Amino acid sequence: MAQGIDYLLKQGDCVIRKTANILFYVIAAFYIFMMIDLFFRFNYMFDTDRIVSRSYNLIPFKTIWGYASRNNHVSFADINILGNIVVFIPYGIYLGVIKKRKGFMISFVIVAATSLFIEITQFIFGLGACDIDDVILNTIGGIIGIIGYKLLRRVLKEESRTKTAITAISLIFGIPIIYLYFTTVFNHLRL
């Protein structure tokens, strides 16, 4: 009898872990889709009526200091700065889970290179300003995510528990973000 109960508990635990694993990759895929849409706006890129405009800033902190010196209330600048950090936090976390054997420096380089790639691609296709400050802010967000993953991994001690916790946290934060995304940001793709 005890062996039967133990067997059922193990099977239930296996189902929970498999479900959490599937949910993790579904959430990560949505995050990647959302990032691609936010950064590249493909419908805008191929719009024949759009005016291509390219600008760049290669002076570190120029845009950030310019935003900071303008005013003391919450503005587009504050949202832009915070948004560039926040959007890359999940990237650092998911990178930690997917590349769990990579050291901090390798993860840091991957985050910085991804951000640099995005900025260069935006410049090439005329999808906004190419700004070194965006690379810095995105990289800060990625570092926060990497550190958050490492702290959670240290506390939970087991990779599967860490991945399950990240999946649960992603669902808690992800459901409202998905709702907001599809009701506001994603409206540009609706027919």
Burial degree of 144 (CB within 10 A; 0-12, 13-18, 19+): middle
Q: How large is the greatest C-alpha to C-alpha distance in the chain, in angstroms? A: 73
pLDDT of the residue at 103 = 86
Q: How many CB atoms lie within 10 A of CB 6?
A: 10
Rounded to two decimals, what is the model's pTM? Answer: 0.82
Q: What is the pLDDT of residue 191?
A: 42
96-128 confidence digits (pLDDT tens): 988 867 788 999 999 999 999 999 988 888 877
Rounded distance between C-alpha atoms, residue 135 and residue 116, angstroms: 6
Q: What is the 3-state secondary structure (H, E, C) of 150-190?
A: HHHHHHHCCHHHHHHHHHHHHHHHHHHHHHHHHHCHHHHHC
Integer Cα distance of 191 and 187 in angstroms? 9
Residue 27 identity: I
Neighbour-count burial for 79-104, b at 16+ CB within 10 Å, e otherwise: ebbebbbebbbbbbbbbbbeeeeeee
Q: What is the DSSP letter of 55?
A: E
Question: Phi and psi for 86 in degrees, rounded to 5?
Answer: -60, -40
pLDDT in tens, 17-28: 788 788 888 888
Cα 187 to Cα 8, 43, 137: the distances in Å are 46, 11, 26
Alpha helices for the chain (secondary structure H) = 2-40, 42-45, 62-68, 76-86, 89-98, 104-124, 132-156, 159-183
Mean pLDDT by 10 residues, the chain (191 residues): 54 73 87 83 66 81 78 67 90 88 88 94 83 95 95 91 88 83 65 42
